């Protein structure tokens, strides 16, 4: 059962510079959640819905790739707050930034950015978000989270589409009066095309385009918007290239059919929204050709093309944006982001700029302190060549998963990934739950996605030796299930 570890789960100790802000391995004192976590959970039950809480954390003691809980358990974190920690816990560069007295004002005073931004805000945007802008996009709209980023991006697409239909941006009196009572033409019958398996957020517009889990959508009214199939690829890819190409062609044909059908229904498709890898829906991939063809379909039918990079952006696929793997000069009209970018928002082409003040607006519209942190995160990524590291450790991770899949064919299948953005399928949901809990008790934090997948979402400072620590523990857990 353990023959694998003889030839490849061998790892060197961490280099000395790493150990200062990273631990040398997991250390477990109790099962998780431990006693202290359970007591805190009971206190918390009176103030919030706590059903989803796993355990309580000690963020002061967490370092690098390791999350420490309130019972003193130290776990290698390969889930990183649902893929939102860019360079690990308590990175020295970020702690130094926070201790600089010149930054206190930014932390203490949170402005309503849309009306009263600080003087340095344009410069901070240039240093942070605009320095990593996707190809062809020089504009960015900051927001607080992924859902409000997508929600406002949808509004931007609708506004753009209606102005295009009018031939100008001056609404009629009828537009203005009818929108106040939710009627056409002021509230037009437009739609956004999304894909089965998608996750774009939990606000009302986003939910209408989210199709990954019933619990997200249950009891909430929705829009009559078209839903296209997302390709279901067969693995290994090289053995099924013909079948996968046929599957992608089928899905693209369905997209065009739906656009035509919804136009005939009087609810034309103003925009198409898609993730480069469907994350929550099960780490579903498609080829660069699929996305390039989809982009062309959007252009052909006059739909805006919105790429949702909330979970895929920030470097964990080996490129800063997952859509860079498509090799396109003009990949999208809108790219939304959050998570590893620390703030939410969306990049957009000039023509998607809101035509009047207060159309894309809320009180905070992001948070300047997050741009301050992001500028430093980007410095660390560049200085330490972290995207190259991600490619290197991603290869080690996927190769390890291939080996384990060969070793445990009754449990594991369909290992897949790009950079460290990897996943593997488990034989069934019950086994997956058991594996996740056993791994956690041995000091590795993982997350599920889709019906029966485990997803890997480490920080960008996840190195080869962390991969091997994980593979050893995962091998032990699988051996118990064999």
b/e per residue, 110-134, with b = 16+ CB within 10 A?
Answer: ebebbeebeeebeebbebbbeebbb
Given the residues 56, 199, 320, 470, the one annotated as active site: 199
Nearest to 121 by CA among 352, 408, 295, 364: 364
Task: Please state whether 120 falls in left (phi above 0), alpha (psi between -120 and 50) or beta.
Answer: alpha
Burial of 235 (0-12, 13-18, 19+ CB in 10 A): middle
Task: Give the distance from CA 55 to its chain's centroid.
Answer: 22
Catalytic: 199?
yes
Count of CB atoms within 10 A of residue 15's CB?
A: 10
Burial of 274 (0-12, 13-18, 19+ CB in 10 A): buried
Given the residues 308, 333, 367, 425, the one annotated as active site: 308
**Residues 106, 273: Cα–Cα separation, whole Å:** 34
Q: Which residue has the tokens 């519209």?
A: 365
**Helix, strand or coil, per DSSP, at residue 130:** helix
Kindly write down the DSSP assignment for every residue of 396-419, as one continuous string.
HHHHHHHHHHHH-TTTEEEEEEET
Q: What are phi and psi of 149, to 5 degrees?
A: -65, -50
Catalytic: 339?
yes
Contacts 24+ apart (CB under 8 A), 219-226: 223/191, 224/191, 224/267, 225/191, 225/192, 225/193, 225/194, 225/262, 225/267, 226/191, 226/193, 226/194, 226/258, 226/259, 226/261, 226/262, 226/269
- From residue 370, alpha-carbon distances to 81, 146, 221, 367 in Å are 16, 14, 34, 6
Q: For the chain, how many residues are written?
A: 482
Given the residues 261, 330, 363, 428, the one annotated as active site: 363
Nearest to 471 by CA among 9, 14, 66: 9
**Do residues 345 and 337 make contact, with C-beta atoms less than 8 angstroms apart?**
yes
Cα diameter, the chain: 76
Nearest to 124 by CA among 325, 353, 374, 450: 374
**Residues 481, 435: Cα–Cα separation, whole Å:** 8
**Do residues 312 and 421 make contact, with C-beta atoms less than 8 angstroms apart?**
yes
Given the residues 124, 339, 349, 442, the one annotated as active site: 339
Helices (H), 277-385: 288-300, 368-383
User: Mind telling me the catalytic residues?
Assistant: 199, 308, 339, 363
């Amino acid at each position: 059962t353990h023959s694998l570890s003889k030839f490849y789960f061998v790892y060197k100790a961490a280099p000395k510079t790493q150990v200062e802000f990273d631990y040398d391995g997991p250390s477990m004192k109790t099962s998780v959640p431990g006693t202290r976590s359970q007591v805190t959970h009971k206190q918390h039950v009176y103030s919030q819905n706590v059903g989803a809480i796993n355990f309580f954390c000690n963020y002061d003691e967490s370092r690098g790739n390791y999350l420490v809980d309130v019972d003193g358990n130290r776990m290698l974190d390969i889930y990183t707050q649902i893929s939102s920690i860019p360079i690990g816990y308590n990175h020295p560069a970020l702690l130094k930034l926070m201790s600089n007295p010149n930054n206190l004002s930014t932390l203490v005073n949170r402005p309503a950015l849309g009306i009263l931004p600080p003087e340095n805000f344009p410069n901070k945007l240039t240093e942070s978000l605009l320095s990593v802008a996707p190809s062809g996009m020089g504009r960015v709209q900051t927001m607080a989270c992924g859902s409000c980023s997508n929600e406002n991006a949808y509004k931007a697409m609708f506004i753009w589409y209606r102005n295009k239909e009018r031939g100008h941006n001056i609404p009629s009196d009828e537009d203005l009066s009818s929108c106040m009572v939710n009627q056409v033409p002021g509230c037009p019958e437009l739609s956004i095309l999304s894909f089965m398996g998608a996750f774009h957020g939990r606000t009302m517009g986003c939910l209408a385009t989210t199709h990954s889990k019933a619990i997200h959508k249950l009891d909430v009214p929705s829009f009559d918007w078209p839903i296209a199939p997302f390709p279901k690829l067969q693995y290994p890819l090289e053995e099924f290239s013909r079948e996968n190409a046929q599957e992608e062609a089928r899905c693209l044909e369905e997209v065009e059919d739906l656009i035509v059908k919804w136009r005939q229904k009087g609810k034309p498709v103003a925009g198409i929204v898609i993730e480069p890898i469907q994350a929550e829906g099960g780490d579903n991939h498609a080829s660069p050709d699929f996305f390039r063809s989809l982009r062309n379909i959007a252009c052909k039918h006059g739909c805006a093309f919105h790429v949702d990079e909330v979970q895929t952006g920030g470097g964990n696929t080996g490129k800063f944006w997952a859509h860079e793997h498509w090799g396109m000069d003009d990949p999208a009209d809108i790219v939304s982001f959050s998570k590893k970018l620390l703030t939410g928002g969306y990049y957009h082409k000039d023509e998607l700029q809101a035509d009047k003040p207060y159309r894309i607006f809320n009180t905070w519209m992001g948070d300047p302190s997050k741009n301050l942190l992001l500028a430093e995160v980007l410095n660390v990524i560049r200085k330490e060549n972290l995207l190259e590291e991600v490619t290197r450790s991603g290869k080690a991770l996927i190769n390890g998963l291939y080996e384990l899949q060969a070793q445990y064919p009754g449990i594991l299948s369909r290992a897949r990934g790009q950079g460290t953005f990897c996943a593997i399928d488990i034989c069934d949901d019950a086994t997956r739950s058991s594996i996740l809990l056993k791994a956690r008790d041995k000091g590795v934090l993982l997350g599920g996605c889709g019906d029966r997948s485990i997803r890997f979402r480490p920080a960008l400072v996840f190195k080869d030796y962390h991969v091997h620590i994980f593979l050893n523990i995962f091998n032990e857990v699988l051996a118990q299930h064999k």
